[in-house]
Structure 1
Amino acid sequence: MAESVFTQNISTPKDVSQPQDRIRRLVWKIAIATLLLMAVGSATRVMNAGLACPDWPLCYGQLVPTQQMNLQVFLEWFHRLDAALIGVSAIALTSLAWWNRKLLPSWLPWASTFALGLIVFQGVLGGLTVTEMLRFDIVTAHLGTALLFFVTLLAIGITLTPYKGTGVAGSLPWVGLTAAILVYLQSLLGGLVASQWALRQCFGGSQLCTVMNSHIAGVVPATLATLVVVVMAWRRPALHTTLRQLANLAGGLVVLQILLGVATFRLHLQVEPLTVAHQAIGAALLGALVAFTVFAFRDNAAAKARNTSNTDVFAA
């Protein structure tokens, strides 16, 4: 199954590659918009703008609340606008995938449908964050679903990207997957800290310190797993350049993320851009690890396909 998923894009006729290329470009555009959406969502939270629009899905009963518009209202309104555009794009993606399903890999329509389901669920959670007055578990689930939608898009886009590996990835896909899962869980802990304002409450009255300390402790396994990916990548001289670059990117991002986390902690969340950057870099780190993992799986699948082909030739 993994072999068929990761190798059927190596050579495709022109009539197949055209819809596939269109879908791949659309997927990357949605992924970029989703990363922006998460950054704006983080800015909305740190600027206390989560309830700047007191109703949902409209804002003050209007599509564009011009009379009430200020920075906080704009952040919440733009966050919803971006989310709506992503939702429409996800519908278009799923429609294209099913319409052209005979020319596309069999998994693509189902993967697109799964992504659409995530964004619909995300929209429901977005509404509940307002109607439930920013309840911390809903806000955390809102972030977790956004990250899952983001990495789903990355996995789809990377699987559709032409790639011929060197076949030396070995165990790297599983190491990369482990690192990605740890970073995802750490991001959820970070979302829990943010949604409960645990850092400020711990500093102010020694409340929720367990939540904050759990996030701090979670840095260790996520960082170590990412660094293992970097070291193992460099210990394979024949590794494909793309995998090596993604490993280096993940290593650089994890160092930057730690520095931003330390600065945010030291400054007691007083510098909002640092807090926003901390979440955005965390999402980018997760994305880099997911990209590395998918490419590494494709590397191994292509190597297995070549070995099978060579065996068949010798047997003949």
Structure 2
Amino acid sequence: MWHNNTLSSAYRWGLIATAIACVVVVLGAFTRLSDAGLGCPDWPGCYGHLTWPKSDDAVARAEARFPEFPVEHDKTWPEMVHRYFAGFLGLIILGITISTWRWSVKTPHQSYPRKHALGLLFLVIIQGLFGMWTVTLKLWPQVVTAHLLGGFATLSLLWLFTLRCAGTTWQLPSDKHRQLTGIKWLALLSLLAVITQIALGGWTSSNYAALACTDLPTCHGEWWPAMDFEHAFNFAQSIGPNYLGGLLENEARTAIHVTHRVGAIVVTMLVLLLSWKLLRLGSFVTRPIAWLLMLVLLGQISLGISNIVGSLPLAVAVAHNAVGALLLLVMVTLMHRLFTAKSC
């Protein structure tokens, strides 16, 4: 009974932490897309303040201290709110990690995801460092993209931790359970494609390439416009003075944008095939997640098209990030269900 109570408590805290991680991911997207990544030129404070300078005197002192970065209130608060939510999430993950290891010591005969929790704690510490480097290296695209991927990884691992603590699994007839073997590899390939597409999205955003092509389905009126892939994906580029607004030429940005579009087509094909195979199983346990996958995918495609047609409206761009995170969570849920499914 004590074991069940502690797992139930871990499940509840996992849900809470996952919900806060969703907020952090959305706030991070809003901060990045509203060009507020350097809203505070220092770290961890903001112009030397715990929050941000508000009074006229505080603003004057802040601008005297950082003459290259005039205070813009519409950019300072998103950055600091994001930092505080991220810090709060880190404290919750620390608490989960400590509690999980305490429970495993008290009941050594029971299995707890303590290594999972420890990995999460390590990841959130790394995320804090990337948050600092995002500011100190002035939005260097490599760091910004890695920070975005770290946020998505934290969210995914928190959700997986929650699923493990919930302890629920699919129960399938033996014949349908055998059919899952082929689906597992397709699901793994689809998950890798989704992660790669998220990374491409981060690279597109951090290099300000989202509007490199403003027409559909072509780009600059051509199916294959002039593109510079060498500079577009030069991950060894030197650290510049300031990457706000991006430093790449148009042909390099076009290459990034078109690659992201091609990635979207690949993800769409794989996820639709995966959904179709899940529906073909004819099981009431696989059917809902198949329809959910297709629904989320449709929403993500619609938002991506709206970003181009509407010239990257802030609300749509943030929603595109949020639904991308949702698609990843659905894929994580599916992978967990597939690899823990039992025959009945």
TM-score normalized by structure 1? 0.85
Determine the C-alpha separation between the residues in 1 that align with 2:211 and 2:272. 30
* 1:107 Cα deviation from its structure 2 partner: 5.4
Q: Which has the higher helix share?
A: 1
| Cα deviation 1:110-160 (Å, max 9, x = unaligned) | 000001111110110000000000000000000111111111112111122
Gap runs ≥5 in structure 1: 1-13, 307-316
Cα deviation code 1:49-86 (max 9, x no counterpart): 10111110111212122516833211101100110001
> Comparing 98-107 with 126-135, which one deviates more in the overlay?
98-107
Q: Which residue does 1:175 correspond to in 2? A: 186
**In the alignment, what sits opposite 2:46?**
59
Q: Which moved more, 1:147-156 or 1:167-176?
A: 167-176
1:117 alignment partner in structure 2: 122
Contact 1:173 1:294 survives alignment (8 Å): no
- Report deviation, 1:220: 1.7
Unaligned runs of at least 5 residues, structure 2: 60-71, 215-248
Specify the alignment match of 2:5 in structure 1. 18
1:30-51 Cα distance to aligned partner (Å, 9 max, x none)? 1111111111111111111101
Q: 1:71 aligns with which of 74, 78, 86?
A: 74
Q: Return the letter of the residue paired with 2:208.
A: W
Q: Distance in 2 between matches of 1:15 and 1:73?
A: 46
Partner of 1:266: 309
What is the identity, as a one-letter code, of the residue corresponding to 1:143?
Answer: L
Q: Quote the Cα distance in structure 2 between the aligned partners of 1:138 and 1:180.
A: 23
Deviation at 1:232, TM superposition (A): 1.2
Q: Which stretch of the first structure deviates more once superposed, 126-135 or 247-256?
A: 247-256
Judge conservation of contact 1:174–1:293 (CA < 8 Å) in 2. Answer: no
Instruction: Report the secondary structure of 2:52's partner residue.
Output: coil
| In the alignment, structure 1 residue 133 sits paired with structure 2 residue 101 | no
Q: Distance in 1 between matches of 2:81 and 2:28?
A: 9
Give the match for residue 90 of structure 2.
87
Alignment of 1:212-223 (within 5 A): 212-223=257-268
Contact in 2 for aligned 1:177/1:290 (Cα 8 Å): no
Name the residue aligned to 2:231. none
Q: 2 CA distance for matches of 1:245 and 1:191?
A: 30
Is the alpha carbon distance of 1:228 and 1:202 closer, same or farther for their aligned partners in structure 2, counting shifts above 3 Å? Answer: closer
| 2:46–2:52 CA contact under 8 A, matched in 1 | yes
Is the partner of 1:65 in helix, strand or coil? Answer: coil
Structure 1 residue aligned with 2:239: none
How far the C-alpha of 1:239 sits from its partner, in A, is: 4.5
The DSSP-based 3-state class of the residue aligned with 1:198 is coil
Partner of 2:333: 291
1:96 equivalenced with 2:99 (yes/no): yes
Which residue of 2 is the match for residue 40 of structure 1? 27
Larger relative contact order, structure 1 or 2 (CA cutoff 8 Å, min sep 6): 1
CA distance in 2, matches of 1:99, 1:112: 12
Corresponding residue for residue 232 of structure 1: 277
Distance 1:110 1:166 in 2: 27
Return the alpha-carbon distance in structure 1 between the equivalents of residues 36 and 163 of structure 2: 35
**SS of aligned partner of 1:21:** helix
Amino acid at match of 1:252: L
Distance 2:112 2:150 in 1: 21
Equivalent in the alignment of 1:4: none
Aligned length: 286
In structure 2, the residue matched to 1:252 is 295
- 166-175 vs 141-150, greater mean Cα deviation: 166-175
**Would you say 1:210 and 2:243 are equivalent positions?**
no
Q: What amino acid sits opposite 1:117 in the alignment?
A: F
Distance 1:174 1:158 in 2: 21
Q: Distance in 1 between matches of 2:171 and 2:300?
A: 31
2:206 alignment partner in structure 1:
195
Cα distance in structure 2, aligned partners of 1:238 and 1:257:
26
Q: Indicate if the aligned counterparts of 2:14 and 2:161 stay in contact, CA closer than 8 A.
A: yes
Letter in 1 for 2:122: G
* Among candidates 299, 302, 323, match of residue 281 of structure 1: 323
Distance 1:282 1:164, change over 3 A: closer
What secondary structure is seen at the aligned counterpart in 2 of 1:199?
coil
